[in-house]
Amino acid sequence: MRIKIFALALIMFSSIIAWSQDDMLDSLDLSFESSPIKEEKIPYFAIAGGFTGTFFFANFDEMNQRIVDGFKEMRSERLNGSIFMPGAEGFTAIGIIPNMRLGFFGAGGSKTIKAVNADTTRSIDYTVSFNGISFDYAYVPTRRLAILAGVNLGWGTMAIEYYRTTKEINWTNFGEDVDSNNFMSRAEARYWLIQPHLNVEFAVTPFIALRGSAGYSYSLMGDWKFNQNAALENVPKNVNASGLYAQFGLFLGLFNY
Q: What is the pLDDT of residue 47?
A: 97
In a domain, 120, yes or no: yes
Q: What is the mean pLDDT of residues 117-133?
A: 94
* pLDDT category of residue 34 using cuts at 50, 70 and 90: low
CA gap 148, 174 in Å, rounded: 52
Q: What is the pLDDT of residue 42?
A: 73
CA gap 121, 164 in Å, rounded: 6
In a domain, 212, yes or no: yes
**pLDDT higher than 70, residue 148:** yes
Q: What is the pLDDT of residue 95?
A: 81
pLDDT in tens, 192-235: 999 999 999 999 999 999 999 999 999 999 999 999 999 999 99
Q: Are 95 and 119 in contact (CB under 8 A)?
A: no
* pLDDT category of residue 157 using cuts at 50, 70 and 90: very high
Higher pLDDT among residues 181 and 195, named by residue: 195
CA gap 123, 165 in Å, rounded: 9
In a domain, 93, yes or no: yes
Least reliable range by pLDDT among 12-16, 86-90, 97-101, 132-136:
12-16
Least reliable range by pLDDT among 3-17, 100-114, 115-129:
3-17
In a domain, 7, yes or no: no
In a domain, 12, yes or no: no
State which amino acid sits at residue 142.
Answer: T
Q: Are 195 and 214 in contact (CB under 8 A)?
A: no
Q: What is the pLDDT of residue 183?
A: 87
Q: Domain count of the chain?
A: 1
Q: Supply φ then ψ for residue 254, to 5 degrees.
A: -125, 125
In a domain, 193, yes or no: yes
Q: What is the mean pLDDT of residues 101-126?
A: 94
Q: Which helix (H) or strand (E) holds 6?
A: helix 2-27
CA gap 159, 191 in Å, rounded: 11
Q: What is the pLDDT of residue 170?
A: 81
CA gap 146, 202 in Å, rounded: 6
CA gap 73, 28 in Å, rounded: 97
Q: Are 253 and 47 in contact (CB under 8 A)?
A: yes
In a domain, 99, yes or no: yes
Please state, in angstroms and as integers, the Cα–Cα distance from residue 81 to each residue in 30, 108, 131, 151, following that order.
71, 16, 23, 25
In a domain, 56, yes or no: yes
The CATH number for 82's domain is 2.40.160.20
Q: What is the pLDDT of residue 33?
A: 52
pLDDT in tens, 46-57: 999 999 999 999
- Which residues fall within 8 angstroms of residue 79, CB to CB, at 6 or more apart? 60, 63, 64, 67, 111, 113, 124, 126
Please state, in angstroms and as integers, the Cα–Cα distance from residue 212 to each residue in 22, 33, 249, following that order.
66, 45, 7
pTM: 0.81
> For residue 132, what are the domain limits?
46-169+178-255
CA gap 70, 65 in Å, rounded: 8
**pLDDT higher than 70, residue 251:** yes
